[in-house]
Amino acid sequence: MKFFLLLSFIAFCWAQYDPHTQYERTSIVHLFEWRWVDIAKECERYLGPKGFGGVQVSPPSENIVVYNPYRPWWERYQPISYKICTRSGNEEEFRDMVKRCNDVGVRIYVDAVINHMCGAGGGAGTSSTCGSYYDANKREFPEVPYSAWDFNDGKCDGEISNYNDAYQVRNCRLVGLLDLALEKDYVRGVVADYMNRLIDIGVAGFRLDAAKHMWPGDIKAILDKLHNLNTAWFDSGSRPFIFQEVIDLGGEAISSSEYFENGRVTEFKYGAKLGTVIRKWSGEKMAYLKNWGEGWGFVPTDRALVFVDNHDNQRGHGAGGASILTFWDARMYKMAVGFMLAHPYGFTRVMSSYYWERNIQNGQDVNDWIGPPNDNGVTKEVTINPDTTCGNGWVCEHRWRQIRNMVAFRNVVNGEPFSNWWDNGSNQVAFGRGNKGFIVFNNDDWALLITLQTGLPAGTYCDVISGDKIDGNCTGIKVYVENDGTAQFSISHCAEDPFIAIHVEAKL
């Protein structure tokens, strides 16, 4: 028995499914397009103190520089070499960020673009973030080095046109991007060297971009070559956390379960469905969320990386479509993120964005390419306003009180069961997490006034959505839990945020 327990302990701690966040930190945030110097500061001044577990950073590998359109965000998904050298900063700045974040208990996860290099139409020259030479026509990337032999074109010289053909999806070009031949030992070795450099610097894991476009076995061969995490910050024998970008909304040849052995997968159904429910589209209601999670056909909770929106589908790229909620729909968005962070399913990622000028024509944003706030292409600093929000065009959803406090809520209720569900058969719902936390939503068009069993110890609690507990007092709504665990909740359907959340650390 002891031996078995030890084995399962090892499997849990050391496996690729474990994000290696510090004890009681349960969410990560994607600081999309941020500079390394700003992330280092954010770890120290905000993420560490507020209980965030880690940061997904934009791809650190040298990329092509695109001028038409002008410096789109997506140029970073077209690698030219594996030098750490992008608009986010150089290698020295990257190292400094990893160290400073780890030192305050915040992990770094790298977005690894290893399926492809730049687009076939990328031309030749040194239009790259570190000035490395490349020739997309000849498929030569001497800085790596890769040559024509290292690409899949022998098998398929065309585009992916049919997502019902797994062979095409994995061997042809995704939107014209030169597809690496990951079955070659040489290519696997080069990719693993890149990832190992990052591991040795101290990153905790990787998002594998376009994982669906790589054979699961090729990914595994690369992962098998990876070092254990740096023991300056991690237990010896710790394996890098892996989450694979596999878009599986059903109905295609490739399913996410094919990737479970390698690590977690992005569950795209999550945000698409939650958006549909909160928007009340297609006859959906919050009452149906009672069996949210596997009950909705999602992957097993210990294989899921979940999010309300990501950098693609917040602007119409990728998958999920119009139901996806973003900061542009702030009121519904806060409810969705609040629900996600309160609910036990999956490992959660919060999105942190920048503003761009949307220009929707025929349902599509023609400005979906616009890059981060910049001066002549140089990414702007993330400045912090006196009220703790961000300036210079950065949205910083992770700093919104409602979201930041729900990140803390999730930490407080970690490991507690889903409990005390209540619904009105429509869009008023509530649930708890054992005897640690409770949340109530009113997404109906009428007021909610009801007494509910919270499961919490008696006392006065601060609602962490409308305010904070500061100096022994609530700056927002107070909730009184009686000796029998019940409390009365009143939520107007016109409230700025029609939901209330309480937890034991916000008790007076």
The nearest distance, CB 268 to ligand AAO, in angstroms, is 8
| CA 133 to mean position of chain CA atoms | 32
Part in contact with ligand AAO (CB under 6 A); list of ranges 21-29, 73-81, 88-96, 436-444: 73-81
Of these, 143, 147, 166, 176, which contacts ligand AAO (CB under 6 A)? 176
Question: Is 209 tagged catalytic?
Answer: yes
Spatial distance between the Cα atoms of 410 and 500, rounded to a whole number of angstroms: 14
Q: Which residue has the closest beta carbon to ligand AAO? A: 119
Part in contact with ligand AAO (CB under 6 A); list of ranges 128-136, 169-177, 196-204, 371-379: 169-177
Spatial distance between the Cα atoms of 338 and 357, rounded to a whole number of angstroms: 26
The nearest distance, CB 462 to ligand AAO, in angstroms, is 38
The nearest distance, CB 197 to ligand AAO, in angstroms, is 20
Residue 178, token pair as written in the block: 């030169």
Q: Within 10 A of 150 (CB to CB), how many other CB atoms are there? A: 20
* Residue 258 sits in the site that holds ligand AAO (CB under 6 A): no
Of these, 15, 156, 166, 319, which contacts ligand AAO (CB under 6 A)? 319
* Residue 77 sits in the site that holds ligand AAO (CB under 6 A): yes
Is-cis flag, bond preceding 373, omega within 30?
Answer: no
Return the residues of window 127-166 that contact ligand AAO according to CB under 6 A.
163
Q: Is the dihedral of CA 158, 161, 165, 169 positive or negative?
A: positive
Residue 106, φ and ψ in degrees, nearest 5: -115, 125
Residue 193, token pair as written in the block: 């060297």
Of these, 22, 37, 50, 74, which contacts ligand AAO (CB under 6 A)? 74
The nearest distance, CB 114 to ligand AAO, in angstroms, is 10
412-443: b (≥16 Cβ within 10 Å) or e: bbeebebbbebbbeebbbbbbbbbbbbbbbbb
Q: Within 10 A of 490 (CB to CB), how many other CB atoms are there? A: 14
Helices (H), 287-445: 330-342, 401-412
Residue 233 or 347: which CB sits closer to ligand AAO? 347
* Residue 177 sits in the site that holds ligand AAO (CB under 6 A): yes
* Residue 175 sits in the site that holds ligand AAO (CB under 6 A): yes
Of these, 40, 97, 110, 210, which contacts ligand AAO (CB under 6 A)? 210
Return the residues of window 259-318 that contact ligand AAO according to CB under 6 A.
312, 317-318
DSSP 33: T
Spatial distance between the Cα atoms of 193 and 296, rounded to a whole number of angstroms: 39
Q: Which residue has the tokens 């703790």?
A: 388
* Residue 245 sits in the site that holds ligand AAO (CB under 6 A): yes
Residue 284 or 497: which CB sits closer to ligand AAO? 284
| CA distances for 60 relative to 160, 272, 317, angstroms | 26, 28, 21
Question: Is 143 tagged catalytic?
Answer: no
Residue 308 or 465: which CB sits closer to ligand AAO? 308
Please identify which of the residues 245, 258, 284, 463 carries the catalytic annotation: 245
* Closest to 436 measured CA to CA, from 417, 463, 462: 417
Helices (H), 387-448: 401-412
* Closest to 266 measured CA to CA, from 300, 306, 294: 306
* Residue 42 sits in the site that holds ligand AAO (CB under 6 A): no
Q: Does residue 128 sit in helix, strand or coil? A: strand
Of these, 44, 103, 252, 302, which contacts ligand AAO (CB under 6 A)? 252
Please identify which of the residues 18, 33, 150, 209 carries the catalytic annotation: 209
Residue type (1 letter), 483? N
Residue 163 or 422: which CB sits closer to ligand AAO? 163
* Residue 182 sits in the site that holds ligand AAO (CB under 6 A): no
Of these, 113, 214, 429, 448, which contacts ligand AAO (CB under 6 A)? 113
As annotated, the active-site residues are: 209, 245
Name the site residues for ligand AAO (rule: CB under 6 A).
74-75, 77-78, 113, 119, 121, 163, 174-177, 209-210, 212, 245, 247, 249, 252, 312, 317-321
